[in-house]
Amino acid sequence: MQFAFTEEQQMIRDTAEQFLAEVSSSEAVRRAMATEQGYETELWQRICTEMYWQAIHIPESCGGLGLGMVELVAVLEQMGRHLLCSPFFATVCMAANALLAAGDESQQTEWLGAIAEGRTTATLAWKDRGRSWGVDAVTASWRREGDEYVLDGHYSYVIDGHTADLLVVAARAAGSRGTAGISLFALPADTAGVARQGLPTMDQTRRQATVDLSGVRLPAGARLGEEGQAGPALETTLQLAAICLAAELTGVAQQTLEDSVDYTQERVQFGRTIASYQAIKHKAADMMLKAEVARSAIYYAACVAQEALFGDAEGAIGSQLAEAASMAKSYCSDAAFFNAGSALQLFGGVGFTWEYDVHLYFKRARSGESLLGDGAWHREQLAARLLDENDETVEVAS
């Protein structure tokens, strides 16, 4: 596949780079980290009103810009480069995608319209503790009582779950397994029976929370899609979120490369800059290769995601999305962690001091590596999918 930005896409990318360089500086990131909610409300409102990024891929019928996943990924890459502290990822890359994948027209108009206007932040809650990051990680339950649904369960690792206005939650029917029996529900965070608790996290630039549902009662209109049939939509949502997170991690890989090159060109050892030593050049070349391949992976995955989200996510495209998402997330997780770890080595003793930003990128890389499945988990998913495809081929041939 040959890929090149259109003039409009290049403009979006350049504008994002310039804006974030101004508003998400090292000082701004550290201010946001110190707040209880994990981001500055004023900056989030500027993003919503001036840049309108929260509406990038929301359809025009819902008040959005009606652009695509490539434009979204281009912005996310720059957000990763500048460690933007905001509810953008949870709201746009998780909750909005869940609404696009599972919501009906009226639900999308209501909730996506509120997100596009900047009135509502949202997030997705689907898993409890455990290694799996797929739909089989759903443990919360739903049951029907008359015209209402009753939800119970515990969710871990909910990004910005302590501040989101809207929670899109996944729950399953009693006795169901895998993708069967799963329903998605949209509920305001102030609904009776919802308890949220912000958590201290290693990566202070992205907050997480636990969410508990205890006898939460919702009207039938809160259910997204058909009853018990939201498993495939949740799978698609998680795959899209993995691509978005991979884009951020690509930005981390790129920025740690650039910061390392700048630092090694300034630091003098034995009468010459350490960038002139062959071993340092080799390390920088390895980091550059990681960043470039990661970038290729995310934009390929973004093109596939565009077809899956706004076309037909079933059949060949659905399978291709799963593969592209796992390839992007596994490689970009490894690339970001490799580059951030290499940056620590190139910076030497000052690399993990509070005054330098390298440790912030290292923590984001480590947290992002685990979130939504690390490289090993996604390679397992790819291997399992390839085995299934081979088994089907053998069965057809026989």
Amino acid at 219: P
CB 385 within 8 A of CB 391: no
Q: How far is the CA of 48 from the CAs of 44, 76, 120, 179, in angstroms?
A: 6, 15, 10, 35
What are the extents of the domains in the chain? 7-121, 123-224, 231-397
d(CA 372, CA 329): 8
Question: Is the whole model's pTM more than 0.85, yes or no?
Answer: yes
User: From CA 192, how far away is CA 171, in angstroms rounded?
Assistant: 17
- On whether the 231-397 domain is CATH 1.10.1740.10, my answer is no
pLDDT tens for the chain, residues 1 to 398: 667 899 999 999 999 999 999 999 999 999 999 999 999 999 999 999 999 999 999 999 999 999 999 999 999 999 999 999 999 999 999 999 999 999 999 999 999 999 999 999 999 999 998 888 999 999 999 999 999 999 999 999 999 999 999 999 999 999 999 899 999 999 999 999 999 999 989 999 999 999 999 999 999 999 999 999 999 999 999 999 999 999 999 999 999 999 999 999 998 888 899 899 999 999 999 999 999 999 999 999 999 998 877 765 454 456 799 999 999 999 999 999 999 999 999 998 888 888 999 999 999 999 999 999 999 999 999 999 888 776 655 444 43
CATH 2.40.160.50 assigned to 7-121: no
Q: What is the CATH number of domain 123-224?
A: 2.40.110.10
